[in-house]
Chain A
Amino acid sequence: MRKIVLIGNPNVGKSVIFTRLTGINVIVGNYPGKTVEYKRGHMKLGGETVEVFDAPGTYTLDPVSDAEEVAVSMLSSADTVINVVDATNLERNLYLTLQLLERKIPMIVALNMWDDTKHRGISIDLNKLRELLKVPIIPTVAVTGEGIKELVENIPRAILADAAVHSRDERWATIGSIIEQVQQVTHRHHTWRERLSDASVKPLTGGIIALVVLALAFLVIRFIGESLIGYVFEPLFNNLWAPVLARLSEFLGGSGFLHDVIVGKLIGGEVNFVQSFGLLSSGLYVPFAMVLPYVLSFYLVLGLMEDAGYLPRLAVLMDTIMHRLGLHGYAIIPTLLGLGCNVPAILATRILESKRERFIAATLISVAVPCAALQAMVFGLVGERGGQYVAIVYGTLFVAWIILGTILRHAVKGFTPELLIEIPPYRLPLWRAVLQKLWMRVYGFLVEAVPIILGGVLIINILYFFGVFDAIANFTAPVVTGLLGLPKEAVTALVIGFLRKDVAVGMLAPLGLTAKQLVVGSVVLAMFFPCIASFVVLLRELGVVKMLKAVGIMISAALIVGGLLNLIL
């Protein structure tokens, strides 16, 4: 099959053109050995089906980063290249264009954001540019679809340019002379989007805008997630699936190993989707009814923020603060998300660049960022004893976050790279592109997480059956009573914390604990181990070795903080 590769600088609308060309049926590939993702789809071209690749955004073809390496190696297998160029930024974009011409691959240029040139007072002499570059150049406005038809019609006319290989300085000199001949810029006033753009990176106004945007994002994520749970998934499970499970439970005799593995333990004579912990009860309910709604709503909001161009601004604002925790400005997004659910939060650490940052961010989230389910239980149980105790729980977690981040920043080898990012202008997101991206991400979550969650449930059931958890409870009892000052029965709750944090906090309720013991118990539960879903995602995202390191940090941090709280309070 013939291969067409879309290549261009970041933020030139390449992905939108890709969406226009290929439609919804797209596969995200991970390049072997690289963390760089690329998209692959198909399109019809004169009765023939051809493959279309969306290469990672790149400024040059000198392979200095993973993304650029991937882009370069994709070129070597391309039959035709579509170079997407930002018409409002011709000069910088032409560097890549010249390098592509030197590669001698049949090429056509999509001069995107053509409509923006008028608003920005830029006039480009298209015919002159065509004459100078000697390849077809099609002006496009990907967001509205303008020029896409012409682009497709011109793909077969892609021309193999005959350019000699040049040095970097020679290329810039050539670009200088091209720009002089084809482009004229007239002065024009700032638009409101540009004013908003300036305001959103300045420390003071930017800080206020950031607070509003983040609060709004968080509210929307919670609202969509909770609505999906309350109006779609809970009714589905309770009204349709529960009766089926009840029949199955009856058929399997209501108890026994096989029954408990498949349906789960009956709680008060009924299947409880959260606590029963069978493959067909909790094994399906946890990923679909508890996690998926948040995954959906998070990725929708994230996709909108990405495509509107807000994320680079937030990264700039938060960079100073996050650098003190060994993190990049971008890390604020997964961190805030962890307050909803750690699973999408840990998944979202993918937006960070280095493995070091991803490790620090994922560890910090697992240790010090309590998920919504846990928070709800803390409010319910600890809040009963007085708001000040809830404040102690949150305050302790926040201080632990700062201190642990500072320690990790010094302890984990490597350095946090200095920020150097383009801040693209704000743009209105194209719904089709946002939904395509959302679908790919949700599909990815389902394919990756569901089988592992089911496997985890199965393994835990087997371990439970053989009394491994009881053994752990007895083994750890001295630490729990001696160090944390909790009664021995609390150990079971801590062990159940491996499975579900909210259930575990609930198990502290009937123990008749003092307010202090409740605070210690809640903090330790929040910090000391992720729930099964987060654990699985940690394993997937970090790999075995780093996951074990993260878990080691969690357990030590939880014991130290719990012990200190026990002493101080």
Chain B
Amino acid sequence: MQIKTLKDLKSGEGGRIAQIDGGHGMVNRLAALGIRPGRRITKLSSGFMHGPVTIEVDRTQVAIGFGMAGKIIVELDEVPAQ
């Protein structure tokens, strides 16, 4: 199983959030938007030059600053062998 931070995910890749390495405030802000451990997310795009990362979670799109995206640890979906 592959584990990456959200900022290292490629656009179109998805997985489950394993962990959020942030303070209480950040964890709460993210949770309010539906971003919390166990949730399935898909990365939509990343901005250029460390711009915000956009993801889809529960059919909602959210933009997350690059720094914050580096603290969200994602377990990548298993890709079926070709």
Contacts and interface: CB of A to CB of B under 8 A. Distances in A.
A174 interface: no
Interface residues of A, number: 33
B39 to A, nearest CB: 9
A250 to B, nearest CB: 63
Interface residues of B, number: 29
Given A88-B59, A91-B58, A62 B44 contact: no
A320 interface: yes
B47 A320 contact: yes
Interface stretch (B2-10, B13-21, B61-69): B61-69
Given A91-B34, A91-B58, A419-B52, A201 B64 contact: no
A329 B54 CA distance: 14
B29 A420 contact: yes
Contact of A203 (B45, B64, B65): B45
B69 to A, nearest CB: 9
A95 B63 contact: no
Nearest to B29: A420
Given A423-B62, A423-B63, A62 B28 contact: yes
A418 B68 contact: yes
B56 to A, nearest CB: 9
Given A59-B33, A168-B31, A423 B54 contact: yes
Interface in B21-61: 25, 28-34, 36, 44-45, 47-52, 54, 58-61
Contacts of B28: 60, 62, 64, 168
Nearest to A68: B32
B32 to A, nearest CB: 3
B30 A420 contact: yes
B47 A203 contact: yes
Contacts of B30: 420
B44 A418 contact: no
A424 B60 CA distance: 7
Interface of B: 25, 28-34, 36, 44-45, 47-52, 54, 58-68
Interface of A: 59-60, 62, 64, 88-89, 91-92, 95, 120, 122, 168, 172, 197-198, 201-203, 312, 315-317, 319-320, 329, 418-425
